[in-house]
Structure 1
Amino acid sequence: MKTEEVGNALLETWSVDEVAEAFDRNEIVLIDVRTPQEYMFEHIEGALLMPMAFFKPEKLPGQGEKRIVFHCGSGVRSERVARAAIASGMARVAHMEGGFGGWKGSHKPYIGTNMATGAPTPIS
């Protein structure tokens, strides 16, 4: 995990493996900030959707029990959202390095779309 101090807050950049392990242990809430179309085509099963275009940091749950980790397609949008969350007053925010592309590149399971039927399909 990489960390960066942003004012009085801490911005964490987690690797795909760190996110996958914490997600499997139910220690984090994973929030996908991609568009609804991107999410519908393929997404990490169990990740919540809060598109960057509609991001409202005041609507986020607290981080008392579970940490919040943002992700997008490549890590660029999730870092922007994480910085916006810090600007809104959150003191410790994380995002996934490499985004969904890194997740797929690491051969982690996700939900894709069967192009023949349009149905959601588990990919491992």
Structure 2
Amino acid sequence: MKSETVNGATFETWTVDEVEAGMESGKIILIDVRTPQEYMFEHIHGALLMPMAGFDAGALPGQSDKQILLHCGSGVRSEKVSRAAMDAGITRIGHMEGGFGAWKAAKKPYIGVNMGTGAPQRME
């Protein structure tokens, strides 16, 4: 993971492998900042949704037990929202490098829509 300090806050950039390990160990909370439509079509199992359009840093859960990491489609929106959260007083936050596109490129499992039935299913 890459880390930088910005005005006393720590901003981390995690790889998809680090995010997967963090989720499996229960050490992180992954928050998806994409649109509800993007999330409904496909998302990482266990990721919470807090779209960038209505993002409120004050509504983020505490980080006493788990660290907050954000992700989007490519990493651009999640980095922007992470930096806005730091501007709002969050002292430690991170995002997933490359976003959901990198997750899929790395062949990580996710929840997608079965186009035949319209039902969500695990995609490998």
Q: TM-score range with shorter-chain normalisation?
A: over 0.9
How far apart, in 1, do the equivalents of 2:90 and 2:35 lie? 23
Q: Which residue of 2 aligns with 1:84?
A: 84
Amino acid at match of 1:5: T
Residue 7 (structure 1) shift: 1.0
Q: Which residue of 2 aligns with 1:93?
A: 93
How far apart, in 2, do the equivalents of 1:46 and 1:18 lie? 15
| Moved segments of 4+, more than 6 Å | none
How far apart, in 2, do the equivalents of 1:88 and 1:62 lie? 14
Which structure 2 residue ranges, 5 or more long, are not aligned? none
Partner-residue secondary structure (3-state), 1:94: strand
Q: Which residue of 1 aligns with 2:75?
A: 75
Deviations 1:76-105 (A, max 9, x none): 000011001100101111000000000001
Q: Which residue of 1 aligns with 2:102?
A: 102
Residues paired across the two proteins, number: 124
How far apart, in 1, do the equivalents of 2:8 and 2:46 lie? 31
Q: Which residue of 2 aligns with 1:40?
A: 40
Amino acid at match of 1:7: N
Q: Which residue of 1 aligns with 2:60?
A: 60
How far apart, in 1, do the equivalents of 2:122 and 2:22 lie? 20
Residue 30 (structure 1) shift: 0.4
Q: Which residue of 1 aligns with 2:19?
A: 19
TM-score, normalised by the number of residues in structure 1:
0.98
Identity %: 63
Q: Which residue of 1 aligns with 2:123?
A: 123
Partner-residue secondary structure (3-state), 2:43: coil
Which structure 1 residue ranges, 5 or more long, are not aligned? none
Partner-residue secondary structure (3-state), 1:108: coil
Deviations 1:43-76 (A, max 9, x none): 0011000000010000001111000000000000
How far apart, in 1, do the equivalents of 2:88 and 2:40 lie? 28
TM-score, normalised by the number of residues in structure 2:
0.98
